[in-house]
Amino acid sequence: MLHEVAVGGLYLPPFFIYACAALPIYLGLRLLLVRSGLLRWVWHPGLFEFALSVCLVSVLILHV
């Protein structure tokens, strides 16, 4: 289990660390979705991307 991390005297919550770890995965998936054209078939692309990022952070949290 991940606990608070001190960076330069500033304590960062574990959620922030997981969100930063999910960012490159999200950007890669988004690039794939845009290039493949699948993002055009989504009703609300912004909402879909947000849900995708929440799912990625959730998977990272539950995996550890």
Task: State the DSSP H helix or E strand holding residue 63, giving kind and residue range, or none if neither.
Answer: helix 45-63
Predicted pLDDT of residue 63 = 86
Q: How confident is the model at residue 49 (pLDDT cuts 50, 70, 90)?
A: very high
With tokens 């054209």, the residue in question is 37
Predicted pLDDT of residue 2 = 77
Helices 14-36 and 45-63 cross at an angle (nearest 10°) of 130
Res 1 pLDDT > 80? no
With a CB cutoff of 8 Å and minimum separation 6, the contacts of 47 are none
**How many structural domains is the chain composed of?**
1
With tokens 């539950």, the residue in question is 62
What average pLDDT is seen over the chain?
93
Res 43 pLDDT > 80? yes
User: Domain span at residue 28?
Assistant: 5-63
Predicted pLDDT of residue 3 = 86
Predicted pLDDT of residue 46 = 95
